[in-house]
Amino acid sequence: MSKIEKFEDIVAWQKARVLTKDIYTASKIGGFARDFGLRDQIQRASVSTMSNIAEGFERGGDKEFIQFLSHAKGSSGEVRSQLYVALDQGYIAPAGFDELSGQATEVSRLIAGFMSYLQSSDLRGKKYR
């Protein structure tokens, strides 16, 4: 794994950023845009995913970073769950659901992999930068 100098170098953060952009785009259309509760919640969950990755990185220690990554992974799961609501309400088409859900799943897998790396690395308990 190449050295990560800033949170913007983290692939999971990059993918979470794209997911957030795509969630905002999808939730601006039709009934989704008018369902303020669901729209706002899914947007907050997607933003939370990328924000927790960034915040954990900036904290400096891998133990705390892993905790923030865990929150980010949970938020990504929340996005997937809310996508089911959007699908069931007819706010997004099945193809749109598959695309966005796939992105959220990829983000979750990347976060899980990064967590495993940090837990097994010789950086345990130390600052990673």
Domain ranges (residues) in the chain = 10-120
Predicted local confidence at residue 44, as pLDDT: 98
**Taking the model in full, what pTM does it have?**
0.90
Predicted local confidence at residue 3, as pLDDT: 83
CB 110 within 8 A of CB 76: no
Predicted local confidence at residue 122, as pLDDT: 59
- The list of the chain residues with pLDDT below 50 reads 124-129
Predicted local confidence at residue 124, as pLDDT: 46
**What superfamily would CATH give domain 10-120?**
23S rRNA-intervening sequence (1.20.1440.60)
CB 37 within 8 A of CB 99: no
Name 128's Cβ contacts closer than 8 Å, sequence gap at least 6: 4, 60, 61, 62, 65, 118
C-alpha of 116 from chain center: 17
Number of residues in the chain:
129
